[in-house]
Amino acid sequence: MNLIKTPEEIQVMKEGGRILATVLKEVQKMAVEGITTLELDKAAEALILAAGAKPAFKGYEGFPYSLCTSVNDVIVHGFPSNYVLKNGDMVGLDLGVLWKGYNTDMAVSVAVGEIPFETRRLMTVTKTALRLGIKKARAGVTTGDIGSTIQRYVEDQGFGVVRDLQGHGIGKLVHEDPGVPNYGQRHKGTKLEAGMVICIEPMLTMGGITIKKAKDGYGFATRDGSLSAHFEHTLVITKDGCKVLTEV
């Protein structure tokens, strides 16, 4: 598999990323008290199809929905269901779009109503960790450089970094090489090259970092039941830095 994307491929992924970011922005607005996560999934799928794209996750490795909805202690890949979001919940929305044969991937964590200060801080630190990882990404750095940057910041803030789940390359497949861990050692891992497209996605916990299968049998949750937050962008590596593809 060629991990270096052509300018034409990158342009297609930029178009798909813009569709994805627009859809997720709308779904995020809908994540309020009283709505079910299944309703959010149906809305996401309808918006993707209306844009002429396809849901990247539906049918992927047996996942039967378009949107991953991960509530509170669920880290990623949670099934949409008839669960009604309530005040104080935190829900992760992870969505992928397939556009002209290429995938893009994006995730946000959303507060439902009023949430405790420490939960808000977990979300803020996770989002900042993603920003720091993106800032670090450029041709010549390694995945370990990115992971080390994220890990040192997060642990300084008193939160945990999930080890068993990571970011990834993306293109014609949802998950391609290289793996992009959110922890690691500087100068270790895969060296990034201009034209690579990767997903950086910090997954943090308020407690322990060990994971287990979620109750739906598909997603992953924290073993100790502590809250988890997740943010993700798809980006292309350039000589002087990177360009986020999943933004409006």
pTM score of the predicted model:
0.97
- pLDDT at residue 67 tops 80: yes
Local confidence band at 2 (pLDDT 50, 70, 90 cut-offs): confident
Helix ranges restricted to H, 31-116 = 37-50
Domains and CATH numbers, the chain: 7-244 (3.90.230.10)
Q: What is the mean pLDDT of residues 238-248?
A: 95
- pLDDT at residue 241 tops 70: yes
3-state SS assignment for residue 245: coil
What is the pLDDT at residue 1?
Answer: 66
Per residue in 8-57, pLDDT (tens digit) is 999 999 999 999 999 999 999 999 999 999 999 999 999 999 999 999 99
3-state SS assignment for residue 115: coil
Per residue in 92-115, pLDDT (tens digit) is 999 999 999 999 999 999 999 999
Residue 111 burial (C-beta neighbours within 10 Å; 0-12, 13-18, 19+): middle
What is the pLDDT at residue 185?
Answer: 96
Residue 7 burial (C-beta neighbours within 10 Å; 0-12, 13-18, 19+): exposed
